[in-house]
Each structure stands twice: as structure tokens, then as C-alpha cells.
Structure 1
Amino acid sequence: MGAQTDGPPAGTPSLVWGLPLSEEPGLGPLTLPGFLREVTTRYPEREALVLRAARGVERWTYAELWERAIEVASALRACGVGRDTRVGVLMTNRPEWISAVFGTALAGGVAVALSTFSTPAELDHLLRASAVSVLLVERKVLTKDFVSVLFELESEIAKAAPGTLQSARFPFLRRLVALGESAPGETVETWDGFLARGRDQPRELVEATGAATNPCDAALIFFSSGTTSRPKGILNSHRGVAAQLWRFGRLYGFTPADHVRCWTANGFFWSGNFGMALGGAFSSGGSLVLQPTFVPGEALELMQAERVNFPFAWPHQWAQLESAPNWDQADLSSMRFADVNTAIARHPTVSTTWTEPGHAYGNTETFTISTCFPANTPHETHQNSSGPPLPGNTLKVVDPLTGAVVPRGERGEICVKGPTLMLGYLGTPLDETLDAEGFFRTGDGGYLDDAGLLFWEGRLTDIIKTGGANVSPREVDEVLAGCPGVKVGRTVGVPHETLGEIVVACVVRHEGATVDTGEIRGFLRDRLASYKVPRHVLVFDEDDIVLTGSAKIKIGDLRQLATQRLQSSGSG
């Protein structure tokens, strides 16, 4: 770390605070109904969203978005939804997803964001864990028919009137509404039929319900990615969600004059995508360009046709876009807020020096980010850190075994508390989740430097201990990402008889590229300390690298795969 010349005295504890939340600029109402009412009042005639589909182009202004959310809220009230009623939303990125989530909030309910990537077994777990009373589902997503899946899970569902259910397996589920063409003789309620139920509801009562919502009330349930176990249901408050929606617009630096047009490759049922894409666009009066399912070639056509200027995707999706047959033919010259470090910055029609607020740290449990630098922060400021704590947040780094706060610069477990911290896990007492001071112990390793900046180094269980030294896989991965020919690279620790673990890099090469493992090790040797250089580099096919629904690699599976590969080759 070097000598402490201008920093705090030696032994200063790893404990830092952000500004008070009340001093954060750019915040508006801290409830979902309040957020929606504010942006739809500010920008009534602006386009809020667009969906290009086979049936034509659908565009909603902000005023229409408010009306569609009121429409859903009215229908939910007619179905008996009230304060804290859980409403499942199982849809792709489409206008009805947005009106359903905000409509649920306006009705006083808690929206449960369900992934359309769910297998039948996963959907069974999500529905039982979340105890939804009403399920709003997009019937067909690619090859899945979710209505059929539901009835296969519970063959003994009793169907009374259209849409009403009785189920021993899902005892809280009372109503099923399907968006899409219904099957002959089916009793599932249609979307249009559902909306018609609300037409007699007094509008003033619907709006009054939304206005009566408190920032501390429950708002949304998102599920963790489930990289090591079954996904956990995470209950978020209105304040936590709304604060992040306002915050992302500020951190991106968006203003109404930018006319943000945001396309994203990822589902809104992931909290990061909800906060960054939806929050970044709506908080600044921008528009969401919706693509229900990610198809690279179609995405390029969509971005060109709708003049997208703010794209949001994960690294593997950027690689898929770059490999699409129409990549070179697409006109992407509208891109203004495209990070210079992503593949889209290399497109022949794109010219950008913009950098996103990428130096950040967060969890689903804190409804995305807890620390962050804003867009275009120079390297001399961020220093490859994860940034300072955001307003309202307190961070500490503790000894993972004792829970004692460690001195600045010493590595340990990152803990956080603040206004966006979850209300709790479903089915788990809060005192089993937070420590005695109310901090969430993240299970992530890192340290705070003398300036109070956080440096995240990965999951504590993923830190590689080799020959008495600790190696952060994240540090190796960041260097690996710049290696020619490497499309995806992840570093794991593999058990070793004398060293404890050895560092092993697992890579997938770009299509058509050739990679030499010796050259990769040489590339890393020039940029890393010797003990951090992988002893082995293993090349895998893309199908070998297992991703979760939110594109996180299942490190445990990859570690096992690497171990098996080395054992079969006699290496070690």
C-alpha cells in the first residue's frame, strides 16, 4: 500500500460513510408511485417506450404510461389486491411489464419480478417462495408456454371462474392472467379481460392508494442469481428502489436535453437492469427501446431504426453483437453514451470517449450499487477502485471470522448498510441476515484504502490461496480480458498437494481466433506479479462455460471442470 503520507493515521479502522441521503442532489419522491407520477408529470408528451413487433410499432408517451399503470392498478384492486399483496410478473421486456410493476405499486401491492429464463423446477421454487396471489404472465416466450408449465406443475389446480384458481401446491395463488393468444376452451383470464375488471373502480381511490404509499413500505421482490444455491427472494423498500432510479440518471449524467434512447439486452426482472436502464432513462425523460428477447442481428436493426444512443449489455452479449452477420452494415452513429471499453465502441460508425459509471460495487441485497464514481471519471480519480460510498451508505471491512473491523488497507469481508439495503430475505429472520450493528455481511472480499475508496476483490470463497499468498481472480480476469483472441476469461483456484491451490485461467476464444496458451501466460506475466500468473491456461468451448440467467459464470462448476481437465491430462 505504500507509506501513509496524506492519509489517515496508521491503524485507522476500515469504516467510511457517504453523505447524508438528504444532501444527495437529483432525488425526487422516494416511492414507485411517486417516482412515476413525477416523471410522467414532467414529461407528459415525451415518448417513454417503444416496442417494434410483428403486429406493428407500439409507442407510449409518459402520459400514456401513467394511464396504463392506473389501468392495471384498477384491475388489481377489482381482484382484491391491497396493501402488501404479492403480484407476480412473468414477462419479457415489453410495455405490459412496466405497467404491471408500477400498477402493482399503485394498488398498494408488492410486485414479484420473475425470470422468463426459469425452468419448470425453478419457477416452482419462485412461486412457492414468493407466495404470489396474482400471477400476470406472458404466455409464450420463445419455446416456452408458461401457462402449460404452470398446469403441469400443479395438475390438481381447481379452476372456478375464468382466471381464478385453487391450488394446494401454490396455496396463495388465486388468479392467473395470461398475455397472449389463449387456447380453445381455456379458462385462464386474458389480459384484456383482466383490464376490463378495473373499469368500474373509482380513479380517485386508485390514485389515493398510490399517494398513501410510504418510502419504508415493501415495493418489489427480486431474486438473487443463484450461483451457489437456490435463488433467494429479496424484499426491497420503495425508498431503496426509487432512490436508485433517480440516482442512475445522475450518475450517468443524463439530462432531458440528451433525449436518452436506451436499449438493453437484459430482462427488467434483474435488479441491475431495472435500475440502470429503466432508471437512467425515465429519470431524465428518456425512452426505452424494448426488445423482448435478445437476438443480436435484430438488436442491431432495432438500434439503427430507433436511433438508440444508450446501449446496455453484458460482455458476452457485446461479443455476440460484434459477431452478428449484419454488424458492419448497421448504422450506429447515434451512439453517444456507449462505453469506450465495450465492443460497440469499435463499430466503424461509432465515435466515443464516454465511460459509464463502471467503477462501482453493489449487490441485489442493496438493490444494485452501494459505491460508485459517476460517468467519465478519470483514472487518476477512480484508480481502478469500486468508488466511495454513495449517500446514506456506511461501509466497513471486517475479519471474516471474528467480525472485528480491520485497519485501512487490510483485506477482509465487505459489509454495508444504508437506505437501499433490503428489508430482508423471504423466509429468513432479519437477525440471521444482518450483524448486531445492522450491517449486511456480503461474503465479498476487499479493502478500503486511505482515501476511503473500496477495492472489491471477489467472493471470499473465490479468493485463491496459493503458496501462502492470496490472489484475486478478478484482478487476473481484468488483465485476461485484454489478451488478443480471448472472448471470455475466468480464473479459478484448483486444489494442489503442496501449494494448497494453483491459479488456473479458463478461456473461450473469439470465433475464428487461434490462441496459444503459452502466449496467454506470457501476456499475463508481463502485467502481473509472478505468483498471480496462472500456472495453467485451459481453453474451453463456449458451451462448456455455464452461465446463470443473469450471465454470471457458475464458478463452482468451472472450478470442477478445470480440476477434471487437469486430472485427465496428468497436469498439476
Structure 2
Amino acid sequence: MHPTDHTATFPALLAEMVASRSEHPAVIHGEEVLTYRQLERRSGEMARALLASGVGKGTRIALLAPDGALWLTTFYAALRIGALVTPISTLTTPPELAHILRTSDAQILIGARRFLRRDFAKNLTAALPGLAAGTAGALRLQCAPHLRSVWLQDGDGLSWAAPVSDLLARAALPGAPDDDLLAAVEREVSPADDALVVYTSGSTATPKAVVHGQWAVACQPRALARYFLLTDADRTLCLLPAFWMGGIAAALQVLSTGGTLIYPRSPDIADAIEMIERHSVTYVVVWHVLPRLRAAAVARGIDVDAIRGMGGPPRRENGELIPPGLRANLLGMSESFSMHSAEPINQRMPDDKTGSCGRGVNGIERRVVSPDTGVEVPPGEVGELQLRGGALMTGFYKVERRTVFTADGFYPTKDLVRIDADGYAYFVGRTGDMIKTNSANVSRLEVEAALRALPEVDVALVAGLPDPEFGEIVVAAVVPAPDTNPTAEGIRATLRERLSSFKIPRRVVFITHNDVPLTETGKVRLSELREIIPSWFSEPPRVDRDTAEIH
């Protein structure tokens, strides 16, 4: 679809699914079940309430709630009327919350008051000085100057917030926008309109605010669904939080195929297992807890290999096993609305494409350039990946376009890849992952992978330390595997069989899991790591100058 086609909007997508799947279950959360017709009515009620409150196209709405009916209906309501919605992680700390509410220019915040052990009302008052003395609907905060109202599921005892039920009641007031007016508003939503802002988890710096438009929201999920073999018969359990790009993409994929989206009551593994059994789940969207989920399912006698996404061996459509390395290692990012390079999960790649991530997704353009010159490199050579078109973001919120994209509209991803003559991409590392030692480039990720392959290594962190002769030297911090007692020289000796000599860490130090700084999403905080690693190597490095040549 072309970006000027008005059918390529979220309102058009939802209307299409409601027309064809009206009484089919759209979303299940715990005991609550909403059909597509009920989801349309529930989100329509919120949309009309927002319109009655003066919300319109471009209004900035922040959404702070766990996965479930409130999150989904509010998110869809905002998309239906052309507002710009910013999902906020329920894991955010008060400083992170303050940053997002201020930099997103949020005018309205809708959310839950509590979830599990998190008290969002408490976090909000800690994040926003002066909020506790504010008046609901008339907030005036220098720390969040655009924020005017906060609506929480439970607003009791809060002078600065009102209950979501009061907001919804506005849709039923005399003179409130009716369904015809909502339909007219939806018709004015354009594929070119900005739709949502996703704050990345950020391992290296302050999270970036990625903006995606209506075209991407309406068209990319349907394209992605084909790679995961989703159909209208699927019952998809999503264990990725809805506030992350992966969770948003998963929810919209289910919607775009007319299937059923299932959320457990809580992130607890037992709740997920209950939903798998009760609703005969056919597909699970999960990353970090997959080993525990699979083990728990096996213990309950569930046929995990019959459920896509549960870690079973990949198979072709005819049931034939796909050999290791010949199923695509899907590659994507928030900026590209999930995957930009992929192959269907049941497709066996050609024998000469081992380790590939696949070809371009949904019309996205990819090119590989020299990180030093910016000149495009020949097929098969390693360089920085740049993206253009397809479902690529419209930009970073409040950041000048010229500082984000090249003059001809490509986005430099900082990913190091190679793309062969047939268009298959291979991930190599990150531009910041390269260590320059004695004029040679060493990939930090390559050395870390070689270390992790050793049975005595549990976690490996590799960095470059300044050296007056070589520029940088390669060093490694290692968390030993349980019940092992490795030595630095033993590790180096083993690596000599796997890596060129210039890639082998000149120094190895042993640390514990507690020494590793992590983000809320489990990523290593690279910015902190760069400051910490030199302290682990506090003694001046003793480099063997005689064996530091390049082979």
C-alpha cells in the first residue's frame, strides 16, 4: 500500500477486522474475554470520551498500565482518533518516568494505580515535584509543562488524579461525540500521521523516543504475521510487555490476522501455563523466560513442540527438521517496527546461507556502507547497515531529521552486517563493538561468543583498554560457570584454537554476576560497563609485545 492510501490506517484496519471477525474472541485477559465487536465498542467508548475531553489529532497521550483490557482499549482508542500515544514501561523508576513525561510532551496520562508491587501513584508524585498539591484536570507543573490531567483506574484520595470511570462517563453525557462523529474523525486519520512513540530500553545512553506513523501501524504487522505463520485460527499468548515494541508488534499482528490475543493475569510462569492449557494456545511470544516456561510446561505434560515459539526444533511445512543455522536469525529493532530482515520460521534457507538473518521485510531498503567513509561497499563486505522506506520510523521525537537520517533518507543503524549478492543479511556486531588494536578491527561480540562457548565460562564481557603502542588492547571479564575454576592462561590457551592471535584477550579477570550492570530489560549497560571495566584491570596491563603481531 502507498502511504497516501487511507485504508492504510489503524481505524481502517480495525474496521476491517470487526466486519469479518465480529463475534470471534479478540483478546482474553485472565477471566475477561472481549470479542472483536466488544473490543471495537470498548475502544470506541474511550475514543469518544477522549474527544469529549478535547483530545484530537496529535494530542499527546501517555499510557502507563500493565497488559490487559485497559491498556489495549486505550491504545486502540488513541490510534483511532489520530492522537500520538506513548506507552510507558511499568518498570520505570521515578527519574525515568519524569524524563518520559517531560520529553514526550504528554498532555494526558491514563493508567493503572498499582500493579504487583509497584505503586504508580507513588512513583508519579516522586517523579513530578508539585504533583501532590495539584488539582485533577488543571495541572500546572514546570517539570511536565504540557501535562494537564491524570486518569487512574483508582483515583481515591488523590487530589491530582481522577478515576478512569469518570473519563469514560464523559462519552455518555448530553452533547458528547456520538458514533457518527467518531467515524468522521477516523476518516480524517491519514497514513502519514504520527501514531505512537516508543522509548527504547537504551543500553548506551538515555532512551531514544522512536516515532512510528499510521502506515506502519496498519501495514507492518500484517507483513510480520506471515513470517510467524499467524492465521485467524491462532490463539497467541503474549508474554512480552505491551509497552515494548515487541509486545506492540505482537498485539497488532494478532489483530491484523483476526486471531485471539491472550494475556496472563500476571507475569508469573504459573499464570502463563494456566492460560496455555485453558485456551489451547497455539503460539507463544516470549524471550527472556522461555527456558523456565518450557520446563514448567514439560512438567505439566504439555506438548511444547506442538506450540510455536516454545523452543521446539524448527520444521518445514512438510515436517522435515531444519538443520541448525539454516533457519533465519531474524534481525530488527524498534526503529524498523520489529524485523527488517527475516525469512518465514518454517523456511529452510539455502545451504550457502548458514547464519543469515534473511532478506528485507515489507519493502524496506537496506544498504551497507563503510563506517569510515559512508561509501556503499560491495556485496559480501562488512559495513554499517542503513535503512530506508518500509516501516522505518518517521524519526526520533523532537530531534531534527537531518541529525537522524542521511541526506538521501537512510537511517544509520550502527549495526555491522554484510549482505550477499542474493540479499541475505548477516549480523556481525555493532560499530561501537569494534576494538581497534594494532591497526586491526576486533569485534567485541565475536570474542564474547568464543568465550561463552567455553564450558567454564558463564558470562563474558569484552572491551578495549587504551594502550600507548597498540591504541587499544583486548581484555575480558569473565563470570566462571558453576563448579569450575578456570585460569586466565587456560582460557587464553583454548581461544588460540578458535581465534586469530590479535583477537585473543591480552588480559582476563574473573568477576561475579553482581558485578555486571544491567538495564531493566536485562541488557548490559554498556555506558556503565566502559567505566567499570578499567577498575577491574587496575594494575597497568602487561602486554606480551612479542606475541601481539597480527596474523
Q: How many Å separate the matches in 2 of 1:517 and 1:302?
A: 46
Separation (CA, whole Å) in 2 of partners of 1:287 and 1:261: 6
Separation in 2, partners of 1:522, 1:403: 38
Structure 2 residue 330 is matched with structure 1 residue 360: yes
One-letter amino acid of the structure 2 residue matched with residue 372 of structure 1: A
For the 8 Å contact 2:85–2:195, the answer to whether it is kept is yes
Relative distance call for 1:495 and 1:287 in structure 2 (3 A) is farther
- The range that moved more, 72-81 or 229-238, is 229-238
2:238 to 263, 266, 270: 263
Contact kept? 1:158, 1:166, Cα under 8 Å: no
* CA distance, structure 2, for counterparts of residue 285 and residue 139 of structure 1: 31
Equivalent runs, 1:433-444 vs 2, <5 Å: 433-444=404-415
Match of 1:12 in 2: none
Q: Which residue of 2 aligns with 1:254?
A: 230
Relative distance call for 1:289 and 1:399 in structure 2 (3 A) is: same
What does 1:62-211 align with in structure 2 at a 5 Å threshold?
A: 62-157=36-131, 162-179=136-153, 181-184=154-157, 186=159, 188-199=161-172, 200-211=176-187
Q: Distance in 2 between matches of 1:270 and 1:479?
A: 30
| In 1, Cα distance between equivalents of 2:495 and 2:256 | 42
Instruction: Please give the alpha-carbon distance, in whole angstroms, between the structure 1 residues aligned to 2:527 and 2:129.
Output: 35
User: Which residue of 2 is the match for residue 30 of structure 1?
Assistant: 8
Q: 1:113 to 1:185 in 2, by over 3 A?
A: closer
Q: Using the TM superposition, give the Cα deviation of residue 69 of structure 1 relative to its aligned residue in structure 2, in angstroms.
A: 1.0
2:253 aligned to which of 280, 287, 304: 280
CA contact (8 A) 1:538 1:562 kept: no
What is the CA-CA distance between 1:238 and the residue it aligns to?
0.8
- Change in Cα spacing, 1:158 to 1:120, as seen in structure 2 (3 Å) is closer
User: C-alpha offsets along residues 439-470 of structure 1, whole Å, 9 cap, x if unaligned?
Assistant: 11122222222323222222211123334332
1:493-544 Cα shifts (integer Å, max 9, x gaps) = 344554444444555567x664746776677655555544555565544333
Q: Distance in 2 between matches of 1:105 and 1:553?
A: 33
Distance 1:562 1:400 in 2: 25
Equivalent pairs: percent with the same residue?
A: 29
Q: Over residues 15-42 of structure 1, what are the superposed CA-to-partner deviations in whole Å (9 max), with x where a residue is unaligned?
A: xxxxxx67xxxx9942122222222322
Q: Would you say the 8 A contact 1:508–1:539 is kept in 2?
A: yes
In structure 2, what is the equivalent of residue 408 of structure 1? 379
Q: Report the CA distance shift for 1:492/1:411 in structure 2 as closer, same or farther (over 3 A).
A: same
Q: Residues 262 and 281 of structure 1 are in contact (CA less than 8 Å); yes or no, is this contact kept in structure 2?
A: no
CA RMSD of aligned residues (A): 3.3
* Count of paired positions: 530
The one-letter code sitting in structure 1 at the alignment partner of 2:212 is N
* Amino acid in structure 1 at the alignment position of 2:236: R
When structure 1 is superposed on structure 2, of 493-502 and 541-550 the one drifting more is: 493-502
**For residues 212 and 158 of structure 2, what CA distance do their matches in structure 1 show?**
39
Specify the alignment match of 1:217 in structure 2: 193
User: Is the contact made by 2:46 and 2:77 (CA closer than 8 Å) also made in structure 1?
Assistant: yes
Question: Is the Cα–Cα contact under 8 Å of residues 151 and 162 in structure 2 kept in the other structure?
Answer: yes
What one-letter code is carried by the residue in structure 1 that aligns with 2:286? A
Aligned twin of 1:374? 344
Partner SS, residue 110 of structure 2: strand
Task: Report if aligned partners of 1:339, 1:353 keep a CA contact under 8 Å in 2.
Answer: no
The Cα of 1:178 is off from its aligned counterpart by 0.4
CA distance in 2, matches of 1:505, 1:244: 40
Distance 1:185 1:280, change over 3 A: closer
Matching residue's letter, 1:67:
R
**3-state SS, counterpart of residue 441 of structure 1:** strand
Classify the secondary structure of the residue corresponding to 1:123.
helix
Structure 2 residue 542 is the aligned partner of structure 1 residue 542: no
Aligned twin of 1:4: none
1:423 aligns with 2:398: no
Shift of the alpha carbon at 1:301?
4.0
CA change 1:245–1:472 in 2 (3 A) is same
1:291 match: 264
CA contact (8 A) 1:416 1:440 kept: yes
> Using the alignment, how far apart are the partners of 1:214 and 1:352 within structure 2?
44
Kindly tell me: are residues 269 and 509 of structure 1, through their superposed partners in 2, closer, same or farther at Cα, counting changes over 3 Å?
farther
Shift of 1:286: 2.4
Name the residue aligned to 2:286. 313
Pairs within 5 Å for 1:397-546: 397-478=368-449, 483-484=454-455, 488-496=459-467, 498-506=469-477, 508=479, 514=484, 516=486, 527-529=498-500, 531-534=502-505, 540-546=511-517
Structure 2: which 5+ runs fail to align? 544-551
Following superposition, the deviation at residue 314 of structure 1 comes to: 2.5
